[in-house]
Amino acid sequence: MDKEKLEHLAKLARIELPEGKEDKLLRDAENILGYFDELKDLNTDDIEPMIGGTDTVNAAREDERSEELLRGGIEAFPISRDGYLEVPAVIKEMNTDL
- pLDDT, tens only, 15-68: 998 888 889 999 999 999 999 999 988 998 988 877 777 777 777 888 888 888
Domain boundaries defined on the chain = 3-40
By residue count, the chain amounts to 98
Residue 35's pLDDT is 93
Q: How far apart are the C-alpha atoms of 35 and 16, rounded to whole Å?
A: 25
79 in Cβ contact with 86 (< 8 Å) = yes
Contact indicator for 28, 18 with CB cutoff of 8 Å: no
Rounded to an integer, what distance in angstroms lies between the CA atom of residue 75 and that of residue 72? 5
The predicted structure's pLDDT at residue 1: 82
pTM for the complete prediction?
0.43
So what's the pLDDT on residue 59?
A: 76
Q: Name which of 30, 28, 24 is nearest 1 in CA terms.
A: 30
Helix, coil or strand: residue 85: strand
Helix, strand, coil distribution of the chain in percent, nearest 5:
40, 5, 55
